[in-house]
């Protein structure tokens, strides 16, 4: 059945309450490879609760908090879920995340755009994360490309189609990066990352991965996203996660555990907002670009 615009836009998602602990923050950092240089102060700041400066929380941990689960597989949704790709991720940080305490996630389908029969649809999931007192910590927008669901407007008798999000700016061309960061992806990286939120079998089950065209299970795109954030913080913010304000990217290809992720970063031009960083990421072994249109915004100190 064609997707039902009105049903998806009005669909109720129960609030997701989650207790954030030091162990949860450390597991997230370890899943992104932060423990590879285990004795360095940079690693210990995110992986040791007894760190002299206090345990730091990577702001991209927002993507695994308040997660609604695999709701797109529920019968009422009527999405061709096997053909849904996570196309972009956008994050706005309003307050630093606490090491301990309750985080409440509120999810909704914010936009649904019909690109036409045979061209798919675009669905934007919005998530607001707040503390137990209601103070907003972060806002996330997850852009999903629903490749098998285009043409719902005509098929359902002229249902609405929302305006898409403003496009992300392209990565700089013809200019050497100002900084480069490389991270080896542990063979068990996806097995660790899935314990945090996303248990899609695509990332663990070889049969499922092969059924949708991958040679083996792939790393979560949001794990690559988190590694790119580590790179930006390392090179431009002295590993201070409280300086991150925005972090956006587009996913262009999968990463396999056991590969090496290379993140290239550029400081913004003079006519851009101060603290603007552009980035892209590629797999070293295959020379394949996997993150494009990356942009971060850091508080200037």
- Residues involved in catalysis: 198, 203, 218, 221
* 3-state secondary structure (DSSP) of residue 247: strand
Tokens of 204: 């663990």
Q: Which residues contact 125 (CB under 8 A, 6 or more apart)?
A: 68, 107, 108, 109, 110, 141, 142, 144
Which H or E element spans position 89?
strand 84-93
Count CB atoms within 10 A of the CB of residue 293: 18
Measured in residues, the chain has a length of 301
**Alpha helix ranges (H) inside the chain:** 5-10, 22-31, 41-47, 152-155, 189-193, 206-211, 221-236
Q: Which residues contact 190 (CB under 8 A, 6 or more apart)?
A: 203, 204, 217, 218, 219, 220, 223, 257
Count CB atoms within 10 A of the CB of residue 255: 26
**C-alpha closest to that of 297 among 93, 1, 102:** 93
Q: Are 58 and 196 in contact (CB under 8 A)?
A: no
């Amino acid at each position: 059945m064609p997707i039902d615009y009105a049903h998806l836009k009005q669909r109720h998602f129960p609030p997701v309450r989650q207790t954030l602990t030091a162990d949860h923050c450390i597991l997230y950092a370890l899943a992104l490879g932060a423990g590879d240089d285990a004795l360095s102060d940079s690693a210990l700041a995110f992986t040791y609760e007894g760190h002299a400066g206090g345990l730091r929380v990577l702001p991209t941990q927002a993507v695994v908090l308040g997660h609604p689960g695999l709701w797109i597989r529920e019968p009422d949704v009527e999405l061709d879920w096997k053909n849904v790709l996570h196309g972009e991720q956008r994050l706005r940080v309003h307050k630093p995340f606490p090491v301990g305490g309750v985080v409440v996630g509120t999810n909704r389908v914010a936009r649904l755009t019909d690109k036409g029969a045979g061209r798919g649809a675009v669905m934007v999931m919005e998530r607001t994360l707040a503390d137990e007192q209601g103070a907003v910590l972060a806002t996330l927008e997850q852009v999903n490309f629903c490749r098998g669901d285009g043409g719902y407007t005509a098929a359902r008798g002229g249902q609405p189609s929302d305006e898409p999000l403003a496009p992300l700016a392209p990565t700089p061309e013809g200019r050497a990066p100002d900084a480069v960061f490389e991270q080896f992806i542990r063979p068990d990286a996806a097995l660790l990352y899935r314990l945090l939120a996303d248990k899609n079998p695509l990332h663990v089950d070889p049969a499922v991965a092969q059924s949708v065209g991958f040679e083996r299970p792939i790393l979560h795109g949001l794990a690559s996203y988190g590694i790119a954030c580590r790179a930006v913080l390392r090179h431009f913010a002295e590993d201070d996660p409280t300086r991150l304000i925005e972090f956006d990217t587009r996913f262009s290809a999968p990463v396999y555990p056991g590969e090496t992720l290379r993140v290239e970063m550029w400081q913004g031009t003079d006519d851009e907002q101060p603290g603007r960083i552009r980035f892209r990421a590629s797999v070293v072994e295959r020379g394949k670009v996997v993150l494009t249109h990356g942009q971060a915004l850091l508080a200037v100190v």
